Amino acid sequence: MDRDLTELLEEWPFEAGKISVRVIEGKDGEPRIQVRLDLGILQMHVAGRPDGKHPEGFDSLLEYQESQIDQMQMDEISEQDAQETGAETTFSESDEEEEDARPNRFLTPEECKALREEAQQYYHRYIALLVLEDYEAVVRDTSRNLRVLDLFRDYAIEEEDRNAMESHRPYIMMMRARALASQAMQVEENKAAIFAIDEGLESLKTYYESISRPELFEESGEVQMLRDMRDALVPKLPVSQKAELRQRLDAAIASENFELAAILRDEIRMLGGDAS
């Protein structure tokens, strides 16, 4: 049935430069996330696949493909067990050659396209969840999309598909670290928040090194975002923590434990203190 959405859209006006998000109750009594866009309203399920579908009976296409990989690995283990228990007597040389020739990559371009479209749904949702300050769910969805990138990298047939989303990896890693830090900040665990940021920065550094582009680390907007977040957190740390490090540094110097002293100086500098 055709329906004019004008009344619904006028009830919730679009505001340029602002991500407007709300949670409503669906007809089934379950919550839904709504995002106001310039040309309409985007509605998503809070958990599972954002559009509520269950492809191949799974919660998502990603989980379906991961189950296929698990089954493939189980089949390989079963074949190996069969050979080790004596079934190898019927295993011909041609069978061995066929086994060696089995491709490790099996995701077709069509399957990769479907996975990218699904990942886009999760992207829309974790941005909305960030606005709603549901940081645990942001960590869930960003971790999930990182698994998609790993799947492409390891199993896509076409090189184009293996690289299609790889440029998004630093952003997703940053968003995950940001959500972990924000989650800790919600319960006033600023030290844990800084730890989450430092882990995120180290992961980004490792990533750029793994693609042989370490110089991109210092140029990365994602790195700068996490550093800015860290700089804003440091002044909120208890003064006693910095004082404790200073006392331990003085004791290390007095006992001529210069290796420990160097480590403590680095920690003090990272906290924004004077380590001289």
Tens of each residue's pLDDT in the chain, 276 residues: 678 889 989 999 999 888 899 999 999 999 999 999 999 999 999 999 999 999 999 999 999 999 998 888 887 777 776 666 654 444 444 444 444 333 577 899 999 999 999 999 999 999 999 999 999 999 999 999 999 999 999 999 999 999 999 999 999 999 999 999 999 999 989 889 999 999 999 999 999 999 999 999 999 999 999 999 999 987 776 655 566 677 778 888 888 888 778 777 777 776 665 656
Q: Where are the domains of the chain?
A: 6-45, 109-236, 239-270
- Backbone torsions φ then ψ of 40, nearest 5 degrees: 160, -160
* Top-level class of domain 109-236: mainly alpha
Residue 8 burial class via C-beta count within 10 angstroms: exposed 0-12, middle 13-18, buried 19 and up: exposed
**Contact partners, residue 97, CB within 8 Å, separation at least 6:** none
| Contact present, 242 and 234 (Cβ < 8 Å) | no
Helices 61-84 and 135-155, packing angle to 10 deg: 50
Cα 184 from Cα 201, distance rounded (Å): 17
